[in-house]
Structure 1
């Protein structure tokens, strides 16, 4: 079964066409990295997949995304945008918002335990009572990820989740994403760090100008592809069995 399917998607707003004839299929158990330069349409595509933007041509579990209610979709898709606006809520309460699709008038014991375990997983349980407007950028990003994971979704969509994170935290977040898909679920992640993507992802979708330029496994990685997508050449080497891109210096 196709977990996500996009067929001939054309989408834009404010009078500008952003996505051009985009088609994509994602299987259960895949970790898909979406890569490309700034302005490639990656975040717009992600918002279409998450149901943030209403559009035709997107299916979730072989059903048009527009046929789901917001609550139904929230039980299936956990979406991590690039940033959230800090408010005065505590970290614990912010992550608890991820349980709203399951809660009644008040949180159940299961809801509370789900938040506690998620905070512990991301190693931010010591921040539980801290207001989110007093967090660092990296801490806030982890809270954002924790809220999506607390939803216990089947599909995790993350838009540049490793931004603002130190090297250790970047690896920890990607390991969590890897474990998520190995449990039989699905993750689609927008990334700028090509080498981090190469270490953890199964598939690589390269975008430019609102179009998918290349979609595939490690076999699609060539110096010519990086020249076409990023406008910079380089060398693809291998370190401990993992491909590494070493870009040329740009004049």
Structure 2
């Protein structure tokens, strides 16, 4: 569904992505993992079409060939940071319907927004301005706006930032549910244990390169030492792998 072919990207003279080839199909839930500066967020922005680059393909068509409206009907991006503003939460989420709306929102647009707010458990915030809510609540608003786009592919950059433990679990369960329903979910994460609990495929990056890609079978203590420079022990609790730094 979405792929990169020997993707390279530089900020000026600094090369950030070095020959990344990656193919993600329908209904996959992929966690992109790695240390700070590995190129994870840059990769996600390339996939989203935010950074203009060669080598990114959506449904066998270059992302660069899509119009913004076409792309936003297929793909939604949740950034790492969201700036609050003076719009209400409801109107902010309604912005996710722009690819479909005419001059005024339809009944369906309003229903989709209400459903997105409900799925994130933030219905009671609908009439509050986004500069009146917490950072964690604002993060949920950003995810709700992405859901309102009804995308086939959801790209999320550290979506559990600023969230308490309960909210982290809610967001990850939602992502897993979306993938089971056929949507493609690609998520940049720093919390390795949270990723291992919910995602089904893991892409490890370091220094702009893909180091490992696969399911739980790719996990090894050697991999974590290579990627993070940290010795770990891999255990298991109730069938879920747990990474313990030593």
Ranges in structure 2 where 5+ consecutive residues have no aligned partner: none
Matched, 1:54 2:55: no
Residue equivalent to 2:234: 236
Describe the superposition over 1:90-128 as per-residue Cα deviations: whole angstroms up to 9, x where unpaired.
000000000000000000000001000110110001000
Residue equivalent to 1:191: 189
SS at match of 1:207: strand
Residue equivalent to 1:223: 221
Ranges in structure 1 where 5+ consecutive residues have no aligned partner: none
Report how far residue 61 of structure 1 moved.
Answer: 1.0
Count the aligned residue pairs. Answer: 246
Structure 1 residue ranges (4+ consecutive) displaced by more than 6 angstroms after TM superposition? none
Of the candidates 38, 41, 50, which is equivalent to residue 39 of structure 2?
Answer: 41
Separation (CA, whole Å) in 2 of partners of 1:190 and 1:5: 16
Separation (CA, whole Å) in 2 of partners of 1:241 and 1:12: 41
Separation (CA, whole Å) in 1 of partners of 2:6 and 2:115: 40
Of the candidates 203, 206, 209, which is equivalent to residue 207 of structure 2?
Answer: 209
Of the candidates 16, 19, 26, which is equivalent to residue 18 of structure 1?
Answer: 16
Of the candidates 155, 164, 182, which is equivalent to residue 166 of structure 1?
Answer: 164
Describe the superposition over 1:140-185 as per-residue Cα deviations: whole angstroms up to 9, x where unpaired.
1000100001100000000000000000000000111011111111
Report how far residue 16 of structure 1 moved.
Answer: 1.3
Report how far residue 15 of structure 1 moved.
Answer: 2.5
TM (norm. structure 2) is 0.99
Of the candidates 114, 117, 129, which is equivalent to residue 115 of structure 2?
Answer: 117
Separation (CA, whole Å) in 2 of partners of 1:196 and 1:216: 16
